[in-house]
């Protein structure tokens, strides 16, 4: 007879959960967990935007239907996403998905098209491996960042060597974890190369509006043909609990397929986050733009605080040049483990959430990091 007791390995394969567990077991009263993938203020509170709060109130006063939505998602939300990505509605197939559920739909489409291997650029966001394994796709690795710089020629060479059954994931900006992005010119070169090689790339747009204004943060927009774009609305709107996303295939020939993948993976997709994004865009967008400028300025100031502490201790890295909400210190596994003995819990490579740094802990964080780097 089958029994849950027969399960041999019930340990998490999620690296974030693993670090969190170690942190919970640490008795150090000064310990810090800096792994959070959310925008927070200096008091460690989640970003709350007035424009989003107004959208919440607007929706409460103008009640939307609680009926099951169209399988594709809320039409107005999809149009917002298409507009921000500079996609023409008539030339794409688009569906709404629940946050990281977007990867399930995108990878289902790739598999249907004959892709059996997806390449990730390293170092990278570790959850890609989880999502790809769940869809039984082989994983390739291409070195992206080393010795403080993007290894662009290495990426180009790897794409040139790809087989017809391969795809690749590109991050659109605020590259997680290293914070160093392709330039617009490099993106254009990669887009042309993928088209010429008939490689269908997946563009992960997770931080639009964090590097610069959401209407200007479009260096990746050249991937407008023969590509799959995944756009997330959680970090940039501060709606993690209602996080929503879109999957766009740059062909109008995939709509029913995408909707079928949504149905088979999720049944129905929650709509509240979709309505929030649509409402902010249509009614409170100017206020949102101003608020996000202040958010970017706060991230920049926090990096300056930490960088000053690091520099005084001899650090000569590129923290100030990194984009996005993380700081990356290119630490090896032994150095990351040594940080834990000092009470500092970070992700692989020494990735920390900049938002969790403040004037009260910056010196301690800097001292720990420099100590393990020596």
User: What digits encode the pLDDT tens for the residues 82-114?
Assistant: 999 999 999 999 999 999 999 999 999 999 999
| Mean pLDDT, range 341-367, rounded to an integer | 94
Two tokens at 264? 């088979």
Listed in order, the ranges of the chain carrying CATH 3.90.1150.10 are 12-37+287-373
Q: What confidence tens digit (pLDDT) does each residue in 189-240 have?
A: 999 999 999 999 999 999 999 999 999 999 999 999 999 999 999 999 999 9
Kindly indicate the confidence band of residue 45, based on its pLDDT and cuts at 50, 70 and 90: confident
Listed in order, the ranges of the chain carrying CATH 3.40.640.10 are 50-283
Number of H helices, E strands in the chain: 12, 13
DSSP states of 157-210: HHHHT--TTEEEEEE-SS-TTT-----HHHHHHHHHHHHHHT--EEEEE--TTT
Alpha-carbon distance of 238 to 45, in angstroms, equals 11
- The pLDDT assigned to 41 comes to 72
Residue predicted with more confidence, 325 or 38:
325
Residue predicted with more confidence, 10 or 100:
100
Kindly indicate the confidence band of residue 47, based on its pLDDT and cuts at 50, 70 and 90: confident
Q: Is 149 helix (H, G, I), strand (E, B) or coil?
A: strand
Backbone angles phi, psi at 226, to 5 degrees: 50, 40
Q: What confidence tens digit (pLDDT) does each residue in 234-257 have?
A: 999 999 988 999 999 999 999 999
CATH fold of the domain at 12-37+287-373: 3.90.1150
Place of tokens 């190369």: 193
Average pLDDT over the chain reads: 94
The answer, as to whether pTM is greater than 0.75, is: yes
What is 50-283's CATH number? Answer: 3.40.640.10
Beta-carbon contacts of 249 under 8 Å, excluding residues fewer than 6 positions away, are 92, 93, 94, 109, 227, 228, 258
Q: What confidence tens digit (pLDDT) does each residue in 60-79 have?
A: 999 888 888 899 999 999 99
Q: What confidence tens digit (pLDDT) does each residue in 262-298 have?
A: 999 999 999 999 999 999 999 999 999 999 999 999 9
Alpha-carbon distance of 357 to 30, in angstroms, equals 14
Two tokens at 341? 């003995």
- The pLDDT assigned to 159 comes to 98
- C-beta of residue 241 within 8 angstroms of C-beta of residue 56: no
């Amino acid at each position: 007879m089958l029994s849950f007791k027969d399960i041999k390995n019930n340990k998490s394969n999620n690296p974030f959960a693993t670090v969190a567990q170690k942190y919970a077991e640490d008795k150090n009263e000064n310990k810090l967990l800096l792994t959070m993938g959310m925008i927070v203020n200096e008091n460690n509170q989640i970003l709350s935007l007035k424009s989003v709060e107004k959208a919440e109130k607007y929706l409460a006063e103008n009640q939307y239907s609680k009926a099951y939505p169209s399988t594709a998602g809320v039409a107005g939300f999809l149009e917002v996403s298409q507009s921000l990505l500079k996609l023409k509605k008539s030339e794409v197939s688009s569906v709404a998905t629940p946050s990281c559920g977007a990867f399930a739909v995108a990878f289902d489409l790739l598999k249907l098209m004959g892709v059996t291997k997806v390449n990730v650029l390293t170092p990278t966001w570790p959850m890609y491996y989880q999502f790809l394994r769940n869809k039984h796709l082989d994983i390739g690795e291409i070195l992206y960042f080393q010795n403080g710089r993007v290894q662009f020629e290495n990426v180009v060479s790897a794409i040139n060597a790809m087989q017809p059954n391969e795809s690749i994931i590109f991050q659109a900006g605020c590259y997680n974890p290293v914070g160093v992005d392709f330039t617009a010119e490099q993106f254009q070169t990669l887009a042309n190369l993928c088209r010429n090689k008939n490689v269908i790339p997946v563009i992960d747009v997770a931080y639009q509006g964090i590097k610069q204004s959401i209407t200007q943060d479009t260096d990746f927009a050249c991937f407008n043909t023969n590509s799959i774009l995944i756009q997330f609305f959680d970090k940039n709107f501060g709606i993690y609990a209602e996080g929503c996303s879109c999957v766009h295939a740059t062909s109008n020939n995939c709509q029913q397929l995408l909707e079928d993948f949504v149905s088979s993976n999720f049944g129905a997709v929650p709509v509240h986050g979709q309505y929030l994004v649509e409402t902010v865009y249509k009614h409170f967008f100017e206020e949102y733009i101003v608020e996000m400028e202040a958010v970017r300025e706060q991230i920049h100031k926090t990096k300056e605080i930490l960088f000053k502490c690091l520099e005084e201790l001899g650090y000569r890295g590129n923290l100030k040049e990194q984009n996005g909400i993380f700081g990356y210190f290119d630490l090896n596994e032994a150095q990351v483990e040594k940080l834990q003995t000092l009470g500092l819990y970070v992700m692989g490579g020494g990735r920390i959430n900049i938002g969790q740094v403040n004037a009260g802990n910056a010196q301690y964080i800097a001292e720990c990091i420099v100590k393990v780097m020596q």
